[in-house]
Amino acid sequence: MSNEAVVSLRNVTKRVGRKTLINNLTFDVPQGEIFGFLGPNGAGKTTTIRMMVGLMSITSGEIIIKGKNIKSEFEQAIRHVGAIVENPEMYKFLSGYRNLIHYARMVPGVTKERIDEIVKLVKLEDRIHDKVKRYSLGMRQRLGVAQALLHRPSLLILDEPTNGLDPAGIRELRDYLRYLTRTEGITVIVSSHLLTEMELMCDRVAILNQGKLVDVKPIEDFIGSNDQAQTYLIEASVDEVMIASIREMAGIQEVQAVPEGLEIVTERNQIPDILFYLTEKGIRIYGVRAVRQSLEDRFLEITGGGQVG
């Protein structure tokens, strides 16, 4: 993976009348990454994407794609982009294949071989000659992705790609996007208001709220890693005296009784000693697990309890 940014936003602002929809966004997305825009309804995800693909003008600031400015070098910049913003336009009475052929006519350099290759890539071989109106939502999504990929973009932008997909469809899309970044070196930007999906899909996320960038972080930073102290739940029946004595142990930052047993805040490498200690005292342990702070908790913390869509 190269460190060169595929997309750079520099102080991007969008105003409509007196309203500031996007306020001074600055961040980079490196090659090969799956990058997420996360934020509640109305945060500005779609607006940012619309500016990135030239569907909306930029009030001030710069968007650079593969070194080309989307404002002043539009043709050269947009060549690198494949996007699905809102619902992709499809002719429902035509087959998926006919739709791709129709689209390919508008894009220079797309051959029949490329269409076949893409159909295989999105795993629609078996159904590509069926009419689109007979497709499931997930199949329509995949056809949309196929269309967006036909001209070999290096950046794929998908606005709310998991909308309307079931959990299996979401997992499939995620695996598929991973596959694309690995095999074709494509960079992917997805937006969502659903935190759990971003957690599963992205390498990094930018949190947007009311048109502002709240934070950009690798996904691990939101969910905590192994060598940091975190909360563990030990399922056992323990009394107050036992809790007080655990509190005295080295490496324990916090202990509290919960209905299932006790919750401790400690580093992972302390767990064996704690379990050994409890077992030695004759306490029966029924389970131990890390209680992850979810992205949702983090999000609420960061945005100061702002509503989550």
Q: Rounded CA gap, 65 and 7, in Å?
A: 5
Task: Provide the β-strand partners of residue 103.
Answer: none
- The residue (of 20 and 293) whose beta carbon lies closer to ligand ATP is 20
Amino acid at 279: T
Separation between Cα atoms, residue 53 and residue 75, nearest integer Å = 11
What's the closest the beta carbon of residue 16 comes to ligand ATP, in angstroms? 4
- Please report how close the Cβ of residue 46 comes to ligand ATP at its closest, in angstroms: 3
Smallest gap from Cβ 121 to ligand ATP, in A, equals 27
Taking the complex as a whole, the smallest distance from the CB of residue 11 to ligand ATP amounts, in Å, to: 18
Q: Whole-number minimum distance, CB 160 to ligand ATP, in Å?
A: 6
- Closer to ligand ATP at the Cβ: 15 or 134? 15
Q: Which range touches ligand ATP (CB under 6 A), out of 41-49, 109-117, 121-129, 294-302? A: 41-49
Instruction: Please report whether residue 205 would count as binding ligand ATP according to CB under 6 A.
Output: no
The one of ligand ATP, Mg ion, none whose footprint includes residue 142, by CB under 5 to 8 A per kind, is none
Q: Which residues bind Mg ion (CB under 5 A)?
A: 45-46
The distance of closest approach from Cβ of residue 191 to Mg ion in the complex, given in angstroms and rounded to an integer, is 6
Q: Which is nearer to ligand ATP, 142 or 193 (CB)?
A: 193
Task: Tell me whether residue 46 or residue 154 sits nearer to Mg ion (CB atom).
Answer: 46
Residue 142 CB, shortest distance to ligand ATP, in Å, is 21
Binding of ligand ATP by 46 (CB under 6 A): yes
Q: What is the Cα–Cα distance from 21 to 43, expressed in whole angstroms?
A: 8
Question: What b/e string do you get for 168-196 counting C-beta neighbours within 10 Å, with b at 16 or more?
Answer: ebbebbbeebeebbeeeebbbbbbbbbbe
Where does the chain show beta strands of DSSP type E?
5-16, 19-30, 34-38, 60-65, 68-69, 81-84, 155-158, 187-192, 204-209, 212-218, 230-236, 252-258, 261-266, 285-291
Per CB under 6 A, the list member of 20, 24, 42, 268 interacting with ligand ATP is 42
Does 45 bind ligand ATP (CB under 6 A)? Our answer is: yes
21 binds ligand ATP (CB under 6 A): yes
Query: 121 or 190, CB closer to Mg ion?
Result: 190
Number of C-alpha atoms within 13 angstroms, CB side, residue 219? 16
Q: Which does 193 bind (CB under 5 to 8 A by kind): Mg ion, ligand ATP, none?
A: ligand ATP
Instruction: Please state, in angstroms and rounded to a whole number, the distance separating the CA atoms of residues 70 and 4.
Output: 17
Candidates 217, 207, 201; CA nearest to 34 is: 201
Q: How far apart are CA 257 and CA 234, in angstroms?
A: 10
Q: Which is nearer to ligand ATP, 251 or 309 (CB)?
A: 309
**Cα dist. 32→13, 165, 178, 267 in Å?**
26, 24, 9, 32
The conformation of residue 223, written as its DSSP 8-state character, comes to H
Tally of CA atoms within 13 A in the half-sphere of 109 that contains its CB: 6
Among 34-42, 135-143, 150-158, 215-223, the segment contacting ligand ATP (CB under 6 A): 34-42
| Residue 195 in the binding site for ligand ATP (CB under 6 A) | no
61 interacts with, out of Mg ion, ligand ATP, none, CB within 5 to 8 A per kind: none
Residues at the interface with ligand ATP (CB under 6 A): 16, 21, 39, 41-47, 193, 309
